[in-house]
């Protein structure tokens, strides 16, 4: 029985895997792949999801870089990549993203790279600027005046960073003469007309310098080519500094604290030169008027004195390098770009009105500070002190 049971015990069936069949394609078989990208849908999605690169949400150490919601677009690319390596991966990813954005914007506008200025096209190829900068450029190009101004590199860099830059220049120069005259009257009161020559010198100096005070500390979109390899270390350092110490860095770009401090020093040196030269012009004109008045009115010879040219010019240069430099850096980089612009970027009229009010107040404050500073260092004296010395 046991032998029979063994003979009749069922064994599990064995299965062998089917032979693998590898499909063979003829060598001449054509394979066509087509990738279609709907420009309208992609661009519309881009417009809704891409924030302006000039709207800063914070003032962190990397300059408040934005568009860094993913891990690969951190300021300066110093973070970790997927492999845990430290390096410039963030910069590369941000550059690729910038290039894609700009290509989509150009395709939508029907423009080619060859139709753009060379410095702008080079910045696009390097991935230095996002698509919103190209959108702003195409919008500004529609105006004949803006198109002419953008032929100059300095104006182009500032207009691409702030489309209200030209309006701010007009505001500053337009209200400068009125606010500075009012500030002079506030400080001098009954002596205003007795010290009219000094008032005139102050106003002339201020008007000459007003344009540079707006121009130099204004935030920019850097389109400058890199310096030559043979350039010195100091030149390379200041060349890499932003134009405004507090300006928002574009995606893929970051500024160190040392570079931002360098921006204050560099602009301070420029404003010292501007202030000194403008003061030389202003005091020279004032002394010419004083001498003409003395020639006509002999009694004014003892009452009115010439303004010291050298000491006044140097003092005004120092004032612009310190007081004006810091005030306008904070005004353009913090108050306007980091506070007002993010809140009111869709309401240009309200934004322009607030910028006008803030700049008017800053100009008036600067005039008051200059009168006090000039009297403190001894280059100007109150009329009562002069009268007491002549007695």
12, part of any domain: no
- What is the per-residue pLDDT for 199? 81
234 & 126 share domain? no
110, part of any domain: yes
157, part of any domain: no
110 & 197 share domain? no
Q: How far apart are CA 389 and CA 376, in angstroms?
A: 18
133 & 266 share domain? no
Q: How far apart are CA 239 and CA 236, in angstroms?
A: 5
293 & 360 share domain? yes
Q: How far apart are CA 218 and CA 247, in angstroms?
A: 8
132 & 261 share domain? no
pLDDT tens sequence across 114-152: 999 999 999 999 999 999 999 999 999 999 999 999 999
Q: How far apart are CA 282 and CA 189, in angstroms?
A: 22
180 & 313 share domain? yes
How far, CA to CA in Å, does 142 sit from each of 47, 135, 138, 146, 165? 20, 11, 7, 8, 16
Which secondary structure element, helix H or strand E, spans residue 121, and what is its range?
helix 118-125
261 & 293 share domain? yes
3-state secondary structure 287-307: HHHHHHHHHHCHHHCCCCCCC
Count other Cβ atoms within 10 Å, centred on residue 15.
Answer: 6
pLDDT tens sequence across 340-372: 999 998 999 999 999 999 998 898 888 889 889
Q: How far apart are CA 42 and CA 139, in angstroms?
A: 20
Q: How far apart are CA 7 and CA 2, in angstroms?
A: 9
64, part of any domain: no
252 & 302 share domain? yes
129 & 245 share domain? no
- Identify the bridge partners of residue 86 per DSSP, sorted by sequence position: 80
Range from 45-59, 147-161, 285-299 that averages highest in pLDDT: 147-161
pLDDT tens sequence across 312-350: 899 989 999 999 999 999 999 999 999 999 999 899 999
Tokens of 259: 């570079």
Lowest mean pLDDT among 67-81, 128-142, 203-217: 67-81
245: three-class secondary structure by DSSP: coil
11, part of any domain: no
147 & 265 share domain? no
Q: How far apart are CA 263 and CA 265, in angstroms?
A: 5
33, part of any domain: no
357 & 208 share domain? yes
100 & 200 share domain? no
Nearest partner of 341 among 91, 152, 66, 141, judged by Cα: 66
354, part of any domain: yes
Mean pLDDT of 67-94: 43
pLDDT tens sequence across 252-300: 889 999 999 999 999 999 999 998 998 888 788 778 877 887 787 776 6
Lowest mean pLDDT among 46-50, 68-72, 107-111, 165-169: 68-72
Total domains, the chain: 2
- Identify the bridge partners of residue 80 per DSSP, sorted by sequence position: 86
Question: Which range marks the domain in which residue 125 is found?
Answer: 94-151
Which secondary structure element, helix H or strand E, spans residue 359, and what is its range?
helix 348-377
165: three-class secondary structure by DSSP: helix
Tokens of 58: 């914070």
């Amino acid at each position: 029985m046991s032998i029979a049971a063994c003979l009749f015990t069922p064994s599990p069936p064995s299965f062998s895997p089917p032979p693998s069949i590898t499909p063979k394609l003829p060598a001449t078989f054509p394979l066509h792949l087509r990738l279609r990208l709907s420009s309208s849908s992609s661009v519309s999605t881009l417009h809704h999801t891409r924030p302006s690169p000039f709207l800063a949400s914070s003032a962190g150490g990397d300059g408040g870089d934005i568009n860094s919601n993913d891990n690969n677009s951190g300021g300066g690319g110093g973070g970790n990549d997927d492999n845990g390596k430290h390096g410039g991966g963030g910069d590369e990813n941000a550059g690729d993203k910038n290039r894609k954005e700009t290509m989509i914007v150009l395709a939508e506008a029907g423009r080619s790279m060859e139709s753009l200025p060379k410095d702008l096209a080079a910045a696009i190829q390097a991935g230095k600027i996002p698509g919103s900068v190209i959108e702003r450029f195409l919008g500004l190009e529609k105006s004949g005046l803006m198109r002419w101004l953008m032929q100059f590199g300095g104006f182009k860099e500032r207009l691409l960073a702030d489309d209200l830059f030209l309006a701010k220049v007009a505001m500053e120069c337009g209200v400068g003469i009125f606010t500075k005259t009012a500030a002079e009257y506030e400080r001098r009161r009954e002596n205003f007309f007795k010290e009219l020559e000094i008032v005139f010198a102050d106003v002339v100096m201020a008007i000459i310098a007003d344009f540079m005070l707006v121009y130099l500390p204004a935030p920019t979109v850097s389109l400058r080519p890199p310096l030559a390899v043979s350039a010195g270390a100091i030149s390379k350092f200041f060349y890499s500094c932003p134009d405004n110490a507090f300006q928002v860095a574009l995606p893929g770009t970051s500024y160190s604290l040392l570079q931002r401090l360098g921006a204050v020093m560099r602009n301070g040196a420029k404003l010292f030169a501007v202030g000194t030269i403008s003061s030389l012009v202003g005091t020279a004109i004032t002394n010419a008027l004083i001498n003409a008045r003395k020639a006509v009115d002999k009694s004014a010879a003892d009452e009115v004195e010439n303004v010291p040219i050298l000491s006044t010019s140097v003092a005004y240069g120092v004032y612009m390098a310190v007081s004006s430099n810091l005030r306008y850096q904070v005004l353009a980089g913090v108050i306007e770009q980091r506070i007002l612009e993010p809140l009111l970027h869709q309401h240009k009229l309200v934004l322009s009105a607030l910028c006008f009010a803030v700049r008017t107040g800053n100009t008036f404050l600067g005039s008051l500070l200059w009168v006090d500073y000039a009297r403190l260092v001894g280059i100007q004296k109150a009329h009562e002190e002069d009268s007491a010395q002549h007695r």
